[in-house]
Structure 1
Amino acid sequence: MPGVCWAQSKWYIPHHGVFNPHKPKLRVVFDCAARSQGIALNDVLIPGPTLTNSLLGVLLRFRECKVALMADVEAMFYQVRVPEKDRHYLRFLWFTGGNLEKEPEEFRMKVHLFGVASSRACANSALKQTAEDGENSRNSEAVKTIQNNFYGGFNLTKWSSSDKQVIESIPKERRSKELQSLNFKEDGLPLERALGVNWSPEGDILGFSPLVREYPLTKRGFLATLSSVFDPMGLVAPVILPARLVLQESIKRVNGWDDPIPDDLLKR
């Protein structure tokens, strides 16, 4: 449970671990929407202006030139520090070594957390300000890229340049894991993910490979199936639209989200 101590102006954030089988690390999630005495930390924070670039705009600009460059600011929110006076609101309790028999230790975050209402605006502001402060006559293109082609710490852009020689010029430790042991003379470039969309570098083609899962034949299962196709550019909208019309009809005819869908709609 979250906790608050008004006399000392402190706030304690509950947290839990989330494990993704496709990623090696355990991710600690801080619940900044949790309430104590009817108040959540996010209730009293200003979200700030929307400084995140348009996802559609970033993907469209990704199609402009011949050779793509993708980059990521690792743990972007954690790269931006919180002022000393504000860290008391980012306190949390931690059982060192996972020993629940001992008293928990008290810590506080020095950096912005994912899930805090103000973090996204602060991190994006810091990124854009860093680019602006470092701009000179030789790096204007890099600054322009940072200003326009980053989305949530991830950069997509294209340069009019050579082919695999571009990747060969990048140190191995700076490449993605799929490219570190690649034999550029024999191996083809692997399939990549560009902001959630499949991208084939060899053919410069965007594609889709939705996860095939068996969902229950209910409105909830139907919606989950449709939502599994991430298509921010609307490229497969003609294929998805008929299914959305069936979902619309099922919402009109079926009461509960977990009630079975009629046979005639299932055939469609």
Structure 2
Amino acid sequence: MEEFKFCISDLFEYIEEHYETHPEDESIYTLEIKRVELNAIYDKANKSYDAFRRTPQKPGETIDFSKVKEKLKKGHQLYLKCLGSINQAIDDLKTPTPTIKERASDENTSRDIGSSIHLPPCDTDIFYGDFVTWPPFRDMFTAIYTTPDKLLTQFWEVEEVPKKPLPSTSDILCEQHYQKTTRRHSTGRYVVTLPFKTPEKIDLGNSRHIALAQYLRNEKSVSRKPEIKTEYDKAINEYLELGHMTKIEYDPAENTKTYYLPHHAVIKPDRLTTQLRVVFTASCPTSNRNSLNDVLHTGPILQADLVILVVKWRMFRIVFNADIQKMYRQILVESKHTPFQRIVFRRSPNDPIEDFELQTVTFGINCAPYLAIRTLLKLADDVQETHPLAAKILRNGMYVDDVLAGAHDVANAKMARDELTSSLESAGFALRKWTSNDPKVLSGISQEHLLDTNLLSLPESNSTKTLGIRWNAKKDAFFFVINPIHDKTSFTKREELSIIAKLFDPAGWLSPVVVTAKIIMQQIWLDKSDWDESLKPLTLHR
């Protein structure tokens, strides 16, 4: 009986939250998420009622089944009403309009605005928080934003020689904007502005109520996991302690001159350092259906090619690798644009909701990668005369915040290390997690800044995951960590393609395995197997 009451209570609470978030103001993907959540909660309430009915009554126990049925009936009526409003909002959004088409074309997004979306069944109680640890949610997220055909196309194209696209008008305007507006703070840090498409008229609606609703749902979820709640609060409070976020007073009159970023926690257990990260969502639509990302230039792609970078790195006899600590958060945003980086937060459910402004470049905003990498290139220009070795590394030896550099002897490697450290520190960037194939390169570096405190002795077990590939510093060799595939008598098309899609090998070092997987994939398509149909034995033994 108690379990049934809890499930019905969950259903009522969810429906109440739904009507507070105005479904007409949301995007297709948030509405699809709501639909899956609502169906799952309602199914759970029905199952708990059936189980309750079949449970024998205890001696002397009297239960009024009419009241129980009445409560379930009320829940059913509310469920249908809520589901109807969600479906209607989704249908309205799927109706093609020039504005949506133009936006989809302009951002080169992979969203299929008018396509049918098939979501997987929901069989879990977890709806919020770390979606990476919930496979059905991750699959649903993929189903909304892309299609199997597109995923398979990307899988085949990964081996093609990359083509450098011509800069678009948006890219040119973004670059011009950066050059005109970027400056250095008195502390040496760089200060950038957000590259709005129409800075004179930023077309955003209200967003605080949407961010608040999502925050309250997330807060309810993480409160069930005290250890995650503690780490999450600690991560947010760190923004305040480091000056990367400031508290502000909420003014309803400023609603359309601000943007509130929804945020949630993502857990990555395989990380050696920070396992919980706060993720901000700048693609969440406001009341006029524009998100912050919609009104910003994304900026040109400045990132170096992964394969070329790794190959060039291994041309050196002595190599070292380091990581810029919190790179994005070392770059300040002009105060006139920080109102577009607001969040809501509170330390306890008993405390009032507070408003904050993020003061630095924020991961989750579409132009953040461009602003971060472009700032490193700007630093390279600024130190070219005084630190030429550092300038060369900043231009040719960086993969976002990873440093991949080296030399042909220890003396030059240490000189490059010192120049790079000095140049980055002048702009507020600190290098951490140092590794090298020669302990002499690491001499003089504080042990707390090494990836492993025992790294100077280079133990056999020491390795670091460099750009998706693991590297053993002592053996100076790359290797892959393979997750074993569970032995089964049969596999479905969906399961097989899920396994194949995990083969990330842009350098082509696993080609013998990947080619075999692609041959199997071709045969699956020739067999015309359905997604959940068991594959033919001959197909898997090709």
* TM-score bracket for the superposition, by shorter chain length: 0.7 to 0.9
Does 2:181 match 1:181? Answer: no
Question: What is the correspondence of 1:128-167 to structure 2 with a 5 Å cutoff?
Answer: 128-137=377-386, 139-162=387-410, 163-167=438-442
Secondary structure in structure 1 of the residue aligned to 2:381: helix
Does 2:380 match 1:108? Answer: no
**How far apart are 1:82 and its partner, in Å?**
1.2
CA deviation map 1:54-88 (0-9, x unaligned): 11221111111111110111121111111111111
Looking at structure 2, the residues matched to 134 and 246 of structure 1 have their Cα atoms a distance apart, in angstroms, of 52
Looking at structure 1, the residues matched to 446 and 261 of structure 2 have their Cα atoms a distance apart, in angstroms, of 40
Q: Aligned match of 1:18 in 266, 279, 283?
A: 266
Looking at structure 1, the residues matched to 291 and 339 of structure 2 have their Cα atoms a distance apart, in angstroms, of 15
Does 2:451 match 1:171? Answer: no
Does 2:484 match 1:219? Answer: no
Structure-2 residue corresponding to 1:118: 367
**Identity between Structure 1 and Structure 2 (%):** 26
- The answer on whether the counterparts of 1:211 and 1:228 sit within 8 Å (CA) in structure 2 is no
Looking at structure 2, the residues matched to 211 and 237 of structure 1 have their Cα atoms a distance apart, in angstroms, of 17
Does 2:343 match 1:92? Answer: yes
- The answer on whether the counterparts of 1:199 and 1:207 sit within 8 Å (CA) in structure 2 is yes
Looking at structure 2, the residues matched to 164 and 44 of structure 1 have their Cα atoms a distance apart, in angstroms, of 49
* Structure 1 residues without counterparts, runs of 5 or longer: none
1:154 aligned partner, one-letter code = D
CA deviation map 1:26-45 (0-9, x unaligned): 21111111222322211111
More displaced stretch, 79-88 vs 128-137? 128-137
**How far apart are 1:188 and its partner, in Å?**
4.1
Q: Aligned match of 2:310 in 42, 54, 59?
A: 59
Bigger helix share: 2
Looking at structure 2, the residues matched to 104 and 48 of structure 1 have their Cα atoms a distance apart, in angstroms, of 34
Secondary structure in structure 1 of the residue aligned to 2:471: strand
Q: Aligned match of 1:257 in 507, 531, 537?
A: 531
- The answer on whether the counterparts of 2:329 and 2:361 sit within 8 Å (CA) in structure 1 is yes
Looking at structure 1, the residues matched to 276 and 487 of structure 2 have their Cα atoms a distance apart, in angstroms, of 27
Looking at structure 1, the residues matched to 487 and 383 of structure 2 have their Cα atoms a distance apart, in angstroms, of 51
Looking at structure 2, the residues matched to 240 and 226 of structure 1 have their Cα atoms a distance apart, in angstroms, of 8
What is the TM-score of this pair, normalised by structure 2? 0.45
1:146 aligned partner, one-letter code = L
- The answer on whether the counterparts of 1:210 and 1:229 sit within 8 Å (CA) in structure 2 is no
Q: Aligned match of 2:515 in 233, 241, 251?
A: 241
Bigger strand share: 1
Q: Aligned match of 2:465 in 193, 207, 218?
A: 193
CA deviation map 1:101-133 (0-9, x unaligned): 433111111111112111011111111111221
How big is the alpha-carbon RMSD for the aligned residues of Structure 1 and Structure 2? 2.4
Does 2:334 match 1:83? Answer: yes
- The answer on whether the counterparts of 2:258 and 2:342 sit within 8 Å (CA) in structure 1 is yes
Distance 1:14 1:215, change over 3 A: farther
Looking at structure 1, the residues matched to 467 and 367 of structure 2 have their Cα atoms a distance apart, in angstroms, of 22
Secondary structure in structure 1 of the residue aligned to 2:494: helix
More displaced stretch, 25-34 vs 41-50? 25-34
Which structure would you say has the larger RCO, counting Cα contacts within 8 Å and 6 or more residues apart?
1
Structure-1 residue corresponding to 2:207: 4
What is the TM-score of this pair, normalised by structure 1? 0.87
Structure-1 residue corresponding to 2:278: 28
**How far apart are 1:256 and its partner, in Å?**
4.1
- The answer on whether the counterparts of 2:439 and 2:456 sit within 8 Å (CA) in structure 1 is no
1:68 aligned partner, one-letter code = V
- The answer on whether the counterparts of 1:19 and 1:25 sit within 8 Å (CA) in structure 2 is yes
* Structure 2 residues without counterparts, runs of 5 or longer: 1-20, 27-205, 209-253, 411-437
Looking at structure 1, the residues matched to 445 and 532 of structure 2 have their Cα atoms a distance apart, in angstroms, of 51
Secondary structure in structure 2 of the residue aligned to 1:259: coil
Question: What is the correspondence of 1:202-213 to structure 2 with a 5 Å cutoff?
Answer: 202-213=474-485
Looking at structure 2, the residues matched to 257 and 143 of structure 1 have their Cα atoms a distance apart, in angstroms, of 51
Question: What is the correspondence of 1:41-60 to structure 2 with a 5 Å cutoff?
Answer: 41-60=292-311
- The answer on whether the counterparts of 2:493 and 2:529 sit within 8 Å (CA) in structure 1 is no
Distance 1:55 1:182, change over 3 A: closer
**How far apart are 1:196 and its partner, in Å?**
1.2
Aligned length: 262
Query: Max radius of gyration: which structure?
Result: 2
Looking at structure 2, the residues matched to 105 and 226 of structure 1 have their Cα atoms a distance apart, in angstroms, of 45
1:144 aligned partner, one-letter code = K
- The answer on whether the counterparts of 2:300 and 2:370 sit within 8 Å (CA) in structure 1 is yes
CA deviation map 1:157-202 (0-9, x unaligned): 22222432222343323211x2x12462x84472222211122233
- The answer on whether the counterparts of 1:215 and 1:222 sit within 8 Å (CA) in structure 2 is no
2:335 aligned partner, one-letter code = E
- The answer on whether the counterparts of 1:198 and 1:206 sit within 8 Å (CA) in structure 2 is yes
2:447 aligned partner, one-letter code = K
